[in-house]
Amino acid sequence: MSEYQYYDFRAVDRALTEAEIKALRSISTRAVITSTSFTNHYEWGDLKADPLKLLEKYFDAFVYVANWGTREFYLRLPQELADYEQLSALLSGEAACVRKAGGHLIIGFETQLEQQDDWDDGSGWMGSLLSLRSDLLRGDLRCLYLGWLLGVQAEEFDEDELEPPVPAGLGELSAPLHALMEFLGIDEDLVEVAASASAPRSADPDRKELAEWIQGLPAKEKDDLLATAALQSGEGWRIELLRRFEQQVAQQTSHTTAANPRRTVRELLAAAQARTEEKTRRLEAKRTAEAAREKAKAAAKRASYLDQLEKCEGETWERIAAHIQKRQPGEYDKAVSLLIDLHDLAIRKQRAAEFQSALEELRLAHAAKESFLRRLAKADL
């Protein structure tokens, strides 16, 4: 297969209408289309529409995978539930960016990986990444900082540029965030270095605390929440409720802490490089130690074998003669293998001259067996 492209669109906040499904079907007759998704792959052709226009109009998430290494992940967020200024401060490059489109914000991550030997049809990525949208709407900005690191890795920024504020919990990444790192090919060492300046993330809301907070809301607000929950098909109402709760908890429990100084791109890259080199040194040392253990284990096994061989050395010479007499290639190989063993035993017992004398007699006795003699020469005997 010389070319492969995979497109996966998902609707979260609302289902597609029949008219919208019909419009999408006119774009592709072979795509799998449901009330919340549009998926298709192409081996020779291409999608007959601009995927980002489809995202803006119909969907809330988009994944694209091509077998030449291109990968894209886009999210559409309602403007009223996201802070454009906050997001744009974190996404100032090309590998990860944010823009306005109608009443939404479009966040995009793009990368170009080296072609992999392992086949990836792209179908599993949406399920691994989609929950990052809900996390973002709740105020979890870790995926955006990872996007900024992707730009650092792609050398988009000046080395003296300062990093954006490091979000809490960068050292305790969730499965979707790990998936994003894998999908985009973000360097683990770079993330680990950046995470050293990240504070621990607060625990998920406690049910009892959340219930008490809701109970304290004005009756009209609670009525509005119930009505919205009943009528709204998406999860916007739930995300907004949780965000309000978490903001209030943060205000109540906030305390003054010494902020970590912001690092430059140069400092992050240098620290990541040092970390990578240290890991390489440790891995090499581990491999060397493992090789030494294996070598010692093999030597001990060989020594034990030679100990047993010494007890039946005479019988072994007889077995060698019997192998040679059969005049078969496989039997010659067995004979030479045993001769190598006897040679090693002779060296060990400091009887090399005695072995060479016996070998020369054997060579003269079978001088007509050229195939056998060639094997002796190849074994350096």
Given this model, what pLDDT does residue 163 score?
93
Task: Calculate the alpha carbon distances from 324 to 25, 254, 341, 366, 375 in Å.
Answer: 77, 88, 16, 8, 12
- The mean predicted confidence, pLDDT, of the chain is 89
Mean per-residue pLDDT for 317-331? Answer: 92
Which two structure tokens, joined as six digits, stand for 318? 């007889």
Report how far residue 147's alpha carbon sits from residue 128's, in angstroms, rounded to the nearest whole number.
17
Percent of the chain with pLDDT over 90: 67
Mean per-residue pLDDT for 360-364? Answer: 90
Strand pairing report for 96-101 and 104-112: antiparallel
pLDDT digits 0-9 by tens, 48-89? 999 999 999 999 999 999 999 999 999 999 998 888 998 998
Instruction: Decide: 295 and 284 in contact? Cβ < 8 Å.
Output: no
Count of helices and strands (H, E) across the chain = 16, 7
- Strongest mean pLDDT among 73-87, 190-204, 248-262: 73-87
CA angle 361, 366, 371 (to 5 degrees): 130
284 pLDDT more than 60: yes
Report how far residue 118's alpha carbon sits from residue 156's, in angstroms, rounded to the nearest whole number.
29
Other beta carbons within 10 Å of 143: 26
Mean per-residue pLDDT for 189-210? Answer: 83
Percent of the chain with pLDDT over 70: 90
What global pTM score does this model have? 0.73
β-bridge mates for residue 275, sequence order: none
Given this model, what pLDDT does residue 252 score?
54
Beta strands in the chain (DSSP E): 5-10, 32-33, 37-42, 61-66, 70-78, 96-101, 104-112
Band of the pLDDT at 227, cuts 50, 70, 90? Answer: confident
pLDDT digits 0-9 by tens, 12-33? 999 999 999 999 999 999 999 9
Mean per-residue pLDDT for 162-181? Answer: 94
**265-311 helix and 313-325 helix, angle to the nearest 10 degrees:** 90
Report how far residue 265's alpha carbon sits from residue 53's, in angstroms, rounded to the nearest whole number.
34
Length of the chain: 381
46 pLDDT more than 80: yes
Rg (CA), the chain: 34
Q: Which of 127, 126, 163 has the alpha carbon at shortest distance from 145? A: 163
The helix/strand/coil state of 294 is helix
351 pLDDT more than 70: yes
Mean per-residue pLDDT for 158-186? Answer: 94
In this structure, the dihedral spanned by the alpha carbons of residues 314, 317, 318 and 322, taken in order and rounded to 10 degrees, is 170
Given this model, what pLDDT does residue 246 score?
66
